[in-house]
Homo-oligomer: A and B are copies of this chain.
Amino acid sequence: MPRPPAAREKLLAAYCEIVAGEGERAATLDAVAERAGVSKGGLLYHFKSKDALADAVIEGLHETAAADRELMAAAPEGPARYFVRGSLEATSDVDTYFNAVLRLATAQHPGATDALAAIHNEWLALIRDEVGDEAVAEAIMLIGDGLYYHAALPGAGDAASTASHFRSRVEHVLEQVEVLRAAAARQR
């Protein structure tokens, strides 16, 4: 692909990080420009407006999510476990974008919620194919969403404490997922 200018990438990453880490409100043009090491004028050359910045993040989510979807489909432990584990870790490229877009969604940015829903449905489809039962697939998704809810919440005593609590229990959670899957298999 025609490699986009480095400054543009830096600005996008900076915006993403501030939105995800300090909230949408903190992501002012000044703050983004400063974090990227660029002037405000420079920022506005690459992105005509603040909204354009947000739109670019949504596009970035779609791209990284497509790549991650391949990994999920091919995961040795299976899509369900891959998904649940990923909901907790939140360290990959997709997670950065996903997190930022989640904040944009709660800030009512047009298109953000739709993007989240679309990706969510792709994940659900993969899990449904694996476990072969709609209700179980949804329950597994909900557990993953629940984990994500905790991971995405800005830290009580900071994110690390909650995250580490669940990390130490992620295997227990995955066991419960296994119980659901087994019960569904028995019924078929």
Q: Are B153 and A116 in contact (CB under 8 A)?
A: yes
Where chain A touches its partner, the secondary structure class is: helix
Q: How many residues of A contact B (CB 8 A)?
A: 43
> Bound state CA distance, A148 and B105, in angstroms?
15
> Which residues from B are CB-within-8-Å of A149?
145-146, 148-149
Copies of this protein in the complex: 2
Q: Does A108 contact B (CB under 8 A)?
A: yes
Q: Spell out A's residues near B (CB within 8 Å).
A: 22-26, 103, 105-108, 113-114, 116-117, 134-136, 138-139, 141-150, 153-157, 162, 169, 172-173, 175-176, 179-180, 183
- Within 8 Å by CB of A153, from B25, B26, B113, B179, lies B113
> Bound state CA distance, A161 and B110, in angstroms?
17
Q: Are B154 and A22 in contact (CB under 8 A)?
A: no
